[in-house]
Amino acid sequence: MQFGILFTSHPNADVERFPHREVHARVTREICRADQLGFDYAWLAEHHFSDQYGIMPDVFVYAGYLAALTRHIKIGTAVVTLPLSNPVRVAENSAFLDILSQGRFVLGLGSGYREYEFDGFGIDFAGRRDIQEEALPLLLDLFHKRRADHAGKYFRAKVDGDYQLFPHAVQEPHPPIFLAGATDRSIGVAAHMGFGLLLSSWTPFDGLARQIAYYRREMEHTPAALRRNAARGHVDVARYVYVAETDERARAESEAIILRHLAHFSSGYTSGYLGTVSAGRSDYDGLLRDVILHGSPATVTAKIEHLRAIGVNSLMLHYPPWYGADKAIASLEIFASDVMPKFGRADGAVATAVRAREQPYAVRS
């Protein structure tokens, strides 16, 4: 198992006052701590226009900043909202970030699930999957051939003759590429095009098992030319995670917060699949049973073992901002010291970092 953390740059409006500029220094400190603790990935989420969720207009800008601050952790996007982007710029920026991070960049793509973000850019939300499915082959052409001649419904691009895509990524043939999926359509696209798969934080365990099995079956249809993606066959699942010394303490510290977060997802901010996926699980016990990973190290370890048994390769930890930075980092430290070793993931240096609470990184407040 590999372990990463999903950072949505969600402001804690209780203490980070409008316009919430402090959120970025807090998230940066958490990412630097995750690097020290031995997590594999820091995943950055693109979001626009609302302070009720993430404030992160350009994940590439942020990833470049983090590449200079971190040492080991892979820097991924979860996700670049591809229908809001120019695929040529996505290819260029991904290759550039791979160089700046010395081969630590991972590209996660998705079609988006917040209609107001599409309204802000004047892009048709209902047609987002069609836009994405035109962009993806163009993106792969640029990575594989470093040239493209495309005239489609949504995009036009001509890079040929004496011209090619620059710079060239460190990782070959390109940084690992994942696609977020929540429907058979998007999961099938991920499998057929040789992408790794990112799965939702709200999908119950039985739904995850079905989605992963479908992805594995559809991978048989990946053309040989697209099987070199290092992420192909890799399933990364996002889960809300909170670890404390006991189940009782974890519940006391997390129940009200996760229900507050669930209320946001049920309030009309989200659309499409993610706007309905949590329906019917509005109580903490229901979420605890088959969605979230909250509890003692032993409880959380057992749930991860279950995820591994249904085919998950990597866990993307996620948490709302309202725990406060100290409790959030404490949960990550317990996870690193008491859960990750069960999966062969911690070494002496990580354990020392947990105990000493090292803070050698310079992060501006």
Binning pLDDT at 50, 70 and 90, where does residue 348 land?
Answer: very low
**pLDDT on residue 98:** 98
**pLDDT on residue 45:** 98
Residue-wise pLDDT for 147-158, tens only, equals 999 999 999 999
Distance CA 340, CA 346 (A): 6
Q: In terms of Cα–Cα distance, which of 355, 325, 347 is closest to 32?
A: 325
**pLDDT on residue 344:** 87
Residue-wise pLDDT for 103-125, tens only, equals 999 999 999 999 999 999 999 99
Mean pLDDT, residues 164-181 taken together? 97
**pLDDT on residue 352:** 47
- Side-chain-facing half-sphere of 50: CA atoms under 13 Å: 17
Residue 13 has pLDDT above 60, yes or no: yes
Distance CA 47, CA 121 (A): 12
**Alpha helices, H only, 6-71:** 22-37, 59-69
Mean pLDDT, residues 249-278 taken together? 77
Q: Which of residues 41 and 279 earns the better pLDDT score?
A: 41
Residue 138 has pLDDT above 50, yes or no: yes
Name, in order, each residue with C-beta under 8 angstroms of 154's C-beta and a sequence gap of 6 or more.
Answer: 130, 131, 134, 135
Residue-wise pLDDT for 92-105, tens only, equals 999 999 999 999 99
Distance CA 104, CA 74 (A): 5
Residue-wise pLDDT for 287-333, tens only, equals 999 999 999 999 999 999 999 999 999 999 999 999 999 999 999 99
Distance CA 53, CA 114 (A): 10
Mean pLDDT value across the chain = 92
**pLDDT on residue 263:** 84
Residue 363 has pLDDT above 80, yes or no: no
CA angle 110, 116, 122 (to 5 degrees): 85
- Single pTM value for the model: 0.93
Angle at which helix 184-192 crosses helix 205-218, to 10 degrees, equals 40
